[in-house]
Amino acid sequence: METNRLSHALGAEIYGVNIVGDLSNSEVEAIHDAWREHHVIVFRGLELTPAQHIAFSLRFGALDDHAATPHERLDGHPELLEVTNKPKKGQPSQSRNAGRNWHSDYSYTGRPAAASMLYCTEKPPVGGDTMFCNMARAYDDLSDKMKSVVDDFQSVYDFTLVSGAAKRDPAKMVELLKVNPPIAHPCVRTHPDSGVKALYVSERTSHFDGMSRAESAPIIDYLCRHATRPENVYRHQWRVGDLVSWDNRTTMHLALGDFDPSQPRHMLRTTLQGQKSGYVVPPAEP
């Protein structure tokens, strides 16, 4: 197995391992090690069936059934989420604007995603890139004083802040808000495998628990700008057949709308379940 780093901050391509074959435990361990080190790993040139995508993902842990976003599941495969701008059953896809602000997957749930594995089956001729930033470096780069301040914060995640919320079907939105009320998670989390500390705040954070929106906003804004500085980012330019796997505990990502929406862009995602976390809170005070 060979790895090829894709940027200074994070990301590596992996070659020389057949992920649709019967992977040995040591191959899985080697992939896991590369993933822990680079946070985002990329496999190229694949032709995955849903069953192969699911089988490979399961080698790394239990999969989420995507009950938090049930309208985006692939028919017959609750372990696969469709991220697509192609109409579904004659209706606009609910995921056509998914991921257009910086976030970590399922942060608005009581079981934030450990990792995600996104597979590209169709892409526009240009654009439709995804950017990733390294939240462990972002934490590490803060001053000791700032670290001690954010160490005590609880970030409140609010489903209404997902991208494209206003363009979603309002009836489905009401349903989703019931399943996903505002929830607070630690603003700094320790990775269960590596012990690395990483920031956990995003453009979907409404406020810090115990503080008003007005008090929280400048700090959230600063932390997001600090985390997403270009030198802390890897920008993935998709090819059909790419499988990109990211660790949601040490990264955020952003799907760019830098493409012609009349061109199909179609992805399938598995989500590795994280640990249960968080407590439900009332919506923010202004």
Ligand X SMILES: O=C(O)CCC(=O)C(=O)O
Rounded to an integer, what distance in angstroms lies between the CA atom of residue 113 and that of residue 121?
22
Interface size with ligand X, residues (CB under 6 A): 11
Using the contact rule CB under 6 A, the part of the chain among 97-105, 150-158, 211-219, 278-286 near ligand X is 97-105
**49 Cβ partners below 8 Å, 6+ apart?**
none
Torsion angles phi and psi, residue 14, rounded to 5: -120, 130
Given the complex with Fe ion, which of 82 and 105 has the nearer CB atom?
Answer: 105
Rounded to an integer, what distance in angstroms lies between the CA atom of residue 147 and that of residue 150?
5
Using the contact rule CB under 6 A, the part of the chain among 37-45, 56-64, 98-106, 214-222 near ligand X is 98-106
Q: How far is the CB of 268 from Fe ion (least distance, A)?
A: 13
Given the complex with ligand X, which of 79 and 105 has the nearer CB atom?
Answer: 105
Contact letters (x/-) for ligand X, 191-220, by CB under 6 A?
------------------------------
**Residue 233 binds which entry of ligand X, Fe ion, none, CB below 5-8 Å type-dependent:** none
Residues 274/64, Cβ–Cβ less than 8 Å:
no
Interface residues toward Fe ion, by CB under 5 A = 99, 105
Q: 183: part of which helix (H) or strand (E)?
A: strand 183-186
- Region of 137 (left: φ > 0; alpha: ψ -120 to 50; beta: rest) is alpha
The neighbour count for residue 147, using CB atoms within 10 Å, is 15
Contact letters (x/-) for ligand X, 255-284, by CB under 6 A?
x-----------x-x---------------
Q: Which residues bind ligand X (CB under 6 A)?
A: 83, 98-99, 105, 116, 118, 130, 253, 255, 267, 269
